Structure 1
Amino acid sequence: MADAAHRIVELADHALSTPFPLRVRAWDGSEAGPPGAPVLVIRRRRALRRLLWKPGELGLARAYVSGDLDVDGDFYEALGLLSGLFWEREEGPAQGTAAAVRRTAGVLRDPANYRVARAALALAGPGLPPPPPPEELRRRTGIAHSRPRDKAAIAHHYDVGNDFYSLVLGPSMVYSCAVWEGERTTLEEAQSAKLDLVCRKLGLRPGMRLLDVGCGWGSMVLHAVEHYGVHATGVTLSTEQAAFARKRIAEAGLTDRIDIRVQDYRDVKDGPYDAISSIGMAEHVGSERYREYAQALYGLLRPGGRLLNHQIARRPLRDEESYHIDEFIDRYVFPDGELAPVGSTVARLEEAGFEVRDVEALREHYGRTLRAWVRNLEDAWGAAARATSAGRARVWRLYMAASALAFERNRIGVNQVLAVRTGPDGDPGMPATRTAWLS
């Protein structure tokens, strides 16, 4: 085992049918692979067992989250090179990952590659597959997207700790795509610009009633009340978010203008509202429940009321039936989260009765936002790990950096869809041009 890195690279070349693009540093101190490339540091043989038992992105993620595997060098470059092994030009993300798994697993099953499989097992060492890192959500009960299961899923992601999120998100405490107006724009300025863009699209005016679905830490309702004079209600399923938002609102002296509830959007019954914002929440709804979501929000709006739906979208597949949720994201980050093409979102909103008036793509803005969050996390790494756990901090670094690359490479997008509940005569109650209703 004095030259483990060379043997690992040789095995990877065989398994992937292409030269492994990263340099490898193994637990025995040996190195192999292309000079100058980012270094994949395999600290423990256990990392190989994780990959053998679960080939593909989930095995790599488990190895990284547990600390069995790390990267020395440009983290984004390393992720980009690795993602090239799982994505194929003619296939979408789900099929690309599945193809890589098939290639790797096929090498181990093919009798012609018995020697390679035997070498891989010898490198990995004896034993059953290691248990997943404790940050992984492994047990779920109840029907997907039922109220209890949705609440548990939200708690897994958002109740990580307000101190942790404060370090990552910064003072704005906004956990969605910012809008960057220039090269020198700060994260706080970009988040404020996004919130103001939402308010202007909704046509907010003093005295209006605003419902913010999935209100997070209260940033949207605070901005709308302070700058547009509305009365706002925010609903979230996260008890930690609600506590943080209420504290901010009390400190701002706005408790008489803002109501924060720990409540499922399906249980909101005090409409009609003049406007509804849903920013980064609809990804949690699920495709089977999306029509119910759209109908619920439609029913909560007055005629002429507007909905701003800000939502991440995936690219459509040639065969939509083959779509499956990314295992790493589902188990570690957003349990039960689902992405849909923007066309599907628009269709469901229109089926509920809305007229869609505008769709704006903000894909490039999300890549920059995620890189800013990763930078915040890396700059405060010790404090972030103490606020939650080293494994959880590694989960967030991995998912945010990988997501930044996915937005930048047009594998996923994010869109603001402005929809209106028209009056009985078809009047949308808004100007006919974007310039007019954004002024």
Structure 2
Amino acid sequence: MADAALRLTTLAEELLGAPLPVRIRAWDGSESGPPDAPTLIIRNRRALRRLLWKPGELGLARAWVAGEIDVKGDLFEALGLLAGLIWERGDDAKDQPHPVLDPRMRAVARGLVQIAGPWPPPAPPAEEIRRRHGALHTKRRDRAAISHHYDVGNDFYELVLGPSMVYSCAYWGDGDGDADRDAGRDTGGHGFTLEDAQRDKLDLICRKLGLKEGDRLLDVGCGWGSMAIHAAREYGVRVTGVTLSREQAAYGRKRVAEEGLTDRIELRVQDYRDVRDGPYDAISSIGMAEHVGSVKYREYADDLYALLKPGGRLLNHQIARRPEQDESKYRIDEFIDAYVFPDGELAPLGRTVATLEEAGFEARDVESIREHYALTLRRWVANLEDHWAEAVRSTSAGRARVWRLYMAASALSFERNKIGVNQILAVKTPESGASGMPARARVWGG
């Protein structure tokens, strides 16, 4: 076929109703589009067949994970240019007809058939989770979902997350280095690192929880043990951490032993719903509640409330989506659900606060750290790109591509205020009303 790139550019612009802001390079070597823009590489026609059979985000994701499409140039720039046309067309896009009913889409599909042929697409990449059946968020189903995301190899996560092994939003200083200067830390001229920012996030949580020597802390969704280690080492608390990932627990226990903290920290492979050894003085839940789902969120809030002693504090660190004017139009992200967080679900901040209060908590502070997550994700993407060959060897090429796209697209979503992340500090306030909170807001610890 001659000049496939030009034909694809024409079809894309017909569908989008706007000039295509990226360049296209097709499998036949032809190119079309702005010469200085990032280049979308379409390596073979299978990518088009995936789009024909699964229009929209999931078809694109399958082609990306399979390596049938790629980007030459800056991935963030390419996604940013395409976002306004594909992923961020605004609320109006939600009112458009399904692709198979859209006349423009039907016309484009006919053009794609002429280029790609009507043959069925290949099977989905191996990295796509099999469709699940039955009720959401049973213990068995949640274990499978967590294993899909976290049990992909600790070596892979070491490359992406760095030495901190913290898989949640870091806490950066203004201008990246100001927090170090404010705290009087000498960075040796190397600036404010990801490890610094993750340490500051963990310490901020410990201070918000008011941890002190001898307290009992429950860390729900403890990951590789970073929060448990920091709290035990720096604040002298006794920590119980629970995770559904066996790989995380094994890695975390090794770290705990190396730190000499086995007398203070216990990491369990356990569902938070099965924890029965309360009451605890404090509970941290960092980047875990996104897995709970709306059907179980009140149960989550009730369980954590029951596990706290009167006056105990909960720090709930959670990603939030923007509320829809019509919540019935909310749709789970197909790419995220199939490749990243199966059964994961984001809720608006207001709904989360309301549910915690319905369970009996008193919400005392909410801090938005949305911009901090964009910075964190950009550092993770840089780590992955800097160690690409090692990352592919440690897991698979498809899995590495999943994480690169997921993290880069997520960074843009945080930057553009499509999603946010918040730390909610809540108290199990006793009947006396004495919350034990500081008199001035945002005065944590001492």
Establish whether TM, by shorter chain, passes 0.5. Answer: yes
Q: Which of 28-37 and 12-21 deviates more?
A: 12-21
**1:78 correspondence with 2:78:** yes
1:400 corresponds to which of 392, 399, 407: 407
How do residues 40-79 of structure 1 correspond to structure 2 at under 5 angstroms? 40-79=40-79
Taking the aligned partners of 1:426 and 1:304, their CA distance within structure 2 comes to 9
Structure 1 equivalent of residue 280 of structure 2? 273
1:170 corresponds to which of 162, 165, 170: 162
2:202 corresponds to which of 190, 195, 200: 195
SS of the counterpart of 1:370?
helix
Taking the aligned partners of 1:328 and 1:148, their CA distance within structure 2 comes to 22
Taking the aligned partners of 1:280 and 1:374, their CA distance within structure 2 comes to 18
How do residues 222-261 of structure 1 correspond to structure 2 at under 5 angstroms? 222-261=229-268
What's the offset of the Cα at 1:97?
A: 6.6
State whether residues 55 and 101 of structure 1, in contact with CA within 8 Å, keep that contact through their aligned partners in structure 2: no
State whether residues 23 and 34 of structure 2, in contact with CA within 8 Å, keep that contact through their aligned partners in structure 1: yes
SS of the counterpart of 2:284?
strand
Letter of the 1:316 counterpart: P
**1:213 correspondence with 2:205:** no
- CA, structure 1 residues 372+97, in 2 after alignment: closer, same or farther (shift >3 Å)? farther
Letter of the 1:139 counterpart: R
Q: Which of 350-359 and 81-90 deviates more?
A: 81-90
What's the offset of the Cα at 1:104?
A: 9.0
Taking the aligned partners of 1:102 and 1:237, their CA distance within structure 2 comes to 38
Structure 2 equivalent of residue 296 of structure 1? 303
Taking the aligned partners of 2:87 and 2:334, their CA distance within structure 1 comes to 15
Letter of the 1:143 counterpart: A
CA displacement 1:338-371 (0-9 Å, x = unmatched)? 0001101100000000000000000000000000
Letter of the 1:154 counterpart: I
Structure 2 equivalent of residue 286 of structure 1? 293
**1:179 correspondence with 2:176:** no
> Unaligned stretches of 5+ in structure 2?
177-190
- CA, structure 1 residues 332+105, in 2 after alignment: closer, same or farther (shift >3 Å)? farther
State whether residues 133 and 391 of structure 1, in contact with CA within 8 Å, keep that contact through their aligned partners in structure 2: yes
State whether residues 155 and 237 of structure 1, in contact with CA within 8 Å, keep that contact through their aligned partners in structure 2: yes
- CA, structure 1 residues 298+12, in 2 after alignment: closer, same or farther (shift >3 Å)? same
- CA, structure 1 residues 421+365, in 2 after alignment: closer, same or farther (shift >3 Å)? same
SS of the counterpart of 2:84?
helix
Structure with greater helix share of residues = 1
1:136 corresponds to which of 113, 128, 137: 128
What's the offset of the Cα at 1:89?
A: 5.8
Letter of the 2:241 counterpart: G
State whether residues 56 and 100 of structure 1, in contact with CA within 8 Å, keep that contact through their aligned partners in structure 2: no
What's the offset of the Cα at 1:88?
A: 4.9
**1:411 correspondence with 2:418:** yes
Q: Which of 54-63 and 318-327 deviates more?
A: 54-63
- CA, structure 1 residues 89+130, in 2 after alignment: closer, same or farther (shift >3 Å)? closer
SS of the counterpart of 2:115?
helix
Moved over 2 A (4+): 86-90, 95-109, 116-119, 434-439
Taking the aligned partners of 1:2 and 1:370, their CA distance within structure 2 comes to 40
Structure 2 equivalent of residue 335 of structure 1? 342
TM-score of the two chains, using structure 1 as the length reference: 0.95
SS of the counterpart of 2:7?
helix
Taking the aligned partners of 2:126 and 2:101, their CA distance within structure 1 comes to 26
What's the offset of the Cα at 1:390?
A: 0.2
> Unaligned stretches of 5+ in structure 1?
none
Structure 1 equivalent of residue 379 of structure 2? 372
State whether residues 99 and 105 of structure 2, in contact with CA within 8 Å, keep that contact through their aligned partners in structure 1: no
Letter of the 1:77 counterpart: E
Structure 2 equivalent of residue 106 of structure 1? 103
CA displacement 1:303-360 (0-9 Å, x = unmatched)? 0000000000000110011111000000000000000011011000000000000000
Identity of aligned residues (%): 70
Taking the aligned partners of 2:102 and 2:119, their CA distance within structure 1 comes to 18
TM-score of the two chains, using structure 2 as the length reference: 0.94
Taking the aligned partners of 2:44 and 2:94, their CA distance within structure 1 comes to 25
1:322 corresponds to which of 329, 354, 357: 329
Taking the aligned partners of 1:17 and 1:100, their CA distance within structure 2 comes to 16
Taking the aligned partners of 2:427 and 2:282, their CA distance within structure 1 comes to 9
Aligned-pair RMSD on alpha carbons? 1.6
Structure 2 equivalent of residue 356 of structure 1? 363
